[in-house]
Structure 1
Amino acid sequence: MSALRRQIRQTLTIARRDFTATVFTPIFLLFLFAPVVMASFGAIGGLGAASVSQGATDKARLVAMLPIGVVPALHAADEQLRPLFDGEARPPALMWRAPASDAAHAAHAALKATSSDVTAVLYGSLDRPAIVYAAGRRQDARYLATVARQAALIERAGSVPPAPRLERVVIDTPTLGGRGAASFAAVFGIFFLTLFLSGQVVGTMAEERNNKVIEILAAAVPLESVFLGKLLGMYGVAVLFIAFWATVLSQIGMLLPGDMGGDMAQFHPAIGILPFALLFAAYFTTAYLLLGSVFLGVGAQASTMREVQMLSLPITIAQVAMFGLASAAVSHPGSWLAIAAELFPLSSPFAMAGRAAAGTALWPHLALLAWQLLWVAIFITVGARLFRRGVLQSGSAKPVWRRLLPRRSDARVM
């Protein structure tokens, strides 16, 4: 058996060992269903906040103190303008009150009343309207002013104009907005997956350092094979996690309403769905291997779980920084910032995934994938050497490329 085949076999043995040791445990089920727990807590908090916000919105009111004759035009204007707002942006309900002799004093009194939450009051006339509003509710006052202008136009026209006929058309071709959304989604998707999955690589060496297993492995297998094998084993765990949740979400996606499916059609990468999916998987792989190799090399220097926990914060900051750099790069394609993000090893997978959604050229992706894999090899080699010298206190071994080449004496015999 050649040296290369032996090292590949040793690497795969370490990967299989770490994969089975992680997956075939009850703790892995908790890790697998961690998104459900996180989503449950998020949903509970979101529902509580939404109920409080919705309750406050339902109690708020806009008041119009105008003559009774302009009320039909006022309500017609409100019916035309209110559909333009959706969700939390929808203004409070509009109600009419009879104007008082001192309109300004009555408007201020309505704002200060404790019986109802009045946010803005329109008084005077449609020709010369006046509005008072509570602090922080300037948007409601602007809406009320727009309603007054629209009602004045309806009054002058003498009738409410007919509503236009709306026709919905689904555009199959990708739009610029759809490409931009796909680019950001690609960057965010890789960032979220690597943030959630690659952090576990940090602590893979700490336990084996404590129980002296790493010394046995280092005596039998080259450290480069140990590092790469552990990295591949954790990558297999990440792929299993993604495959499980991708299957679950694909079944849930079949239950989406038709309108939502039509809106998702605009979310279309320029390079095509299938090439984009392949490139996304490739860039997630390189992003995981790059960040994982760095985290593995840094985490290998930690001897206790407390030190591993202390490393979690700078690791998270590094991942967020790569996400910010890649997000800025996809917002300014072709700029020096984009080029720097695409060439810097740790941010390159994020930025190139965004570029895959916005462009159609394939050769830059092949070149950058090779570039990223080269840096994976560099990070693993450097991490193994630092571990060998700093932790095992042993001398530097021959580089892996020299061990894989045949000896000069063997070459002469052949």
Structure 2
Amino acid sequence: MTRLLESAFVIGRRDFTATVFSKTFLLFLVGPLLIIGISILFGNLSERMARQDMRSTVSVIASQAEFGEMEAARARLAPAFGADELPVLVRAEPDYVLEAQIADLLGSRDKRILAVMTGGVARPRLTGAVSETGAIREQITLIVEEARHRRALDRAGAVPPPLEIEFVKVEESAGSLAASRAVTARGGQLLLFMLTVFLAGMLLSNLIEEKSNKVIEVLAAAVPVDAIFLGKLVAMLAVSLVGIAVWASAAILGLTLWPSEAFALPQPAVGWPLFVLLVLIYYAANYLLLGALFLGIGSQASSVREVQTLSMPVTVAQILIFLLASFAVGPFNSLVAILAAVFPFSSPLAMIARAAQTPELWTHALAIGWQALWVWLTLKLAAGLFRRNVMKSGSGPTALGPLRSRA
């Protein structure tokens, strides 16, 4: 065991140094930051432009008094709908030829009028390219009804004072707590899934270069194959953690300079310090589990083309695993959620969701031990298949061997 660990350390240090102290690794670190930064910038700009383009404008041909009633009614209803939900009302002075005025307003390209309302509050008529049962018609109807009711109350002298509802705020309720923790659970799952998909896929092609230039034969003659696989797997995990540390630092700096409530998640059940620690532990477990599997699959391929062919089913399998783990959000004690926590390759994702929803800790100790066992078993299986299929004659059958022989 001591020789295995020493050999794995030597292999891992060699791979880690060769990867981190290279020019391509700097591009690997900076590339995602640039992509995310540009995406956020253009996303915000396009969102503002889309909000302006999609904002509904209705022209109201009415006198100043009637338009004022409708605008006041809209102002009273707007807080219940949101600032941009109700259509914007724009007044137009009544002209002599009403039909021609409606056609001019609807045909104006700079005003972007969606519909034109005539007849005032008494006999409203809506003309435009809107659905008879759509939201615009219903909202205009609601605004007119509110204006009618306020007019009737004004004439009767029975306008009630503004209604004030007594509000009693509590810190939390069972329903709001469960819903907020479910948001954190899905956020933790998505973070682990995206990082693993982005970083673990490199292990599929980790051995291709060394197999092609016969370096793997030299390594296998000097150290056990198990040590080669263990060293490469741990080295790539360390490389991924370096990348995550750089990206996390950039994210913290960005949120410090430009704070945003959109990224604020509710507090998990185990508390933030322990939840962050569990995120790191389960990320390492998820990476080692899938990485050992990918290393074993990729070691059977003999060319980059075969690795590219294998990447599609591997990605689909990861998505299916993520879907299975998503059942652990909400009813985390259901049968499907427990199966997701027991199945080794979905266990890290399911358990991080459980950490966000329930404060019990003994299940995490059990799950981490279970995942460590499966990392060892998967690594032993991958090394055994490589030793038997590839190292047997220097270039044994590959993962696509049956397909190639049929062709």
Same fold (TM over 0.5): yes
Alignment: residue pair count: 386
Match 2:117 to one of 122, 126, 143: 122
Partner of 1:10: 7
Given the two structures, how large is their TM-score scaled by the length of structure 2? 0.84
Aligned residues of 2:130 and 2:137 also touching (Cα < 8 A): no
Question: What is the TM-score normalised by the length of structure 1?
Answer: 0.82
Listed as ranges, the gaps of 5+ residues in structure 2 are 395-407
Please name the residue that 2:398 is paired with.
none
Task: Give 1:39 deviation, angstroms.
Answer: 1.7
Comparing 181-190 and 142-151, the one that deviates more: 142-151
CA contact (8 A) 1:120 1:141 kept: no
Paired letter, 2:107: A
Q: Secondary structure at the match of 2:113?
A: strand
The 1-side partners of 2:41 and 2:382 are apart by: 43
Contact 1:107 / 1:132 at 8 angstroms: preserved in 2? no
The answer on whether the counterparts of 2:130 and 2:136 sit within 8 Å (CA) in structure 1 is no
Instruction: Name which of structure 1's ranges 316-325 and 379-388 shifts more when overlaid on structure 2.
Output: 316-325
Asked if structure 1 preserves the Cα contact closer than 8 Å seen for 2:16 and 2:239, the reply is: yes
- Per-residue deviation, 1:293: 0.7
Give, as a single letter, the amino acid of the residue that structure 1 aligns with 2:392.
Q
Kindly tell me: are residues 80 and 279 of structure 1, through their superposed partners in 2, closer, same or farther at Cα, counting changes over 3 Å? Answer: same
Q: Taking structure 1 as reference, are residues 170 and 239 closer, same or farther at Cα in structure 2, changes over 3 Å only? A: farther
> Aligned partners of 2:170, 2:32: CA distance in 1, in Å?
33
Report deviation, 1:206.
0.5
2:20 alignment partner AA = V
Partner of 1:402: none
Identity among equivalent pairs (%): 35
Deviation at 1:29, TM superposition (A): 0.3
Seen in structure 2, the aligned counterparts of structure 1 residues 161 and 150 have a Cα distance that, compared at 3 Å, is farther
Matched, 1:176 2:171: no
Q: Deviations over 1:360-411 (max 9, x none)?
A: 111111111111111111111111111111111269xxxxxxxxxxxxxxxx
CA distance in 2, matches of 1:166, 1:97: 41
Paired position in structure 2 for 1:260: 261
List per-residue Cα deviations over 1:262-305 (Å, max 9, x = no partner). Answer: x93x6110111112111111111111111111111111111112
2:117 counterpart SS class: strand
Question: CA offset at residue 106 of structure 1?
Answer: 7.1
Q: Which residue of 2 aligns with 1:113?
A: 107
Aligned to 1:35: 32
Aligned equivalents of 1:246 and 1:169: distance in 2?
35
Give the aligned partner of residue 365 of structure 1. Answer: 364
Given that 1:18 and 1:233 are in contact with CA atoms closer than 8 Å, whether structure 2 keeps it comes out as yes
1:138 is matched with which residue: 123, 134, 137? Answer: 134
Residue 94 in structure 1 maps to residue 93 in structure 2: no
Structure 1 pair 21/146, CA: closer, same or farther in 2 (3 Å)?
Answer: same
Secondary structure of the residue that 2:332 maps to in structure 1? Answer: coil
Matches of residues 9-408 of structure 1 in structure 2 within 5 Å?
9-43=6-40, 45-46=42-43, 49-50=46-47, 52-57=49-54, 60-66=56-62, 68-84=64-80, 90-98=85-93, 109=103, 112-115=106-109, 116-126=111-121, 129-135=124-130, 138-158=134-154, 162=162, 171=171, 175-257=177-259, 260=261, 264=264, 267-393=266-392
| 1:411 counterpart residue number | none
* TM-superposition CA deviations, 1:51-86 (whole Å, max 9, x none): 65245246x521234454332221112223334555
| Amino acid paired to 1:77 | A
Task: Return the letter of the residue paired with 2:338.
Answer: I
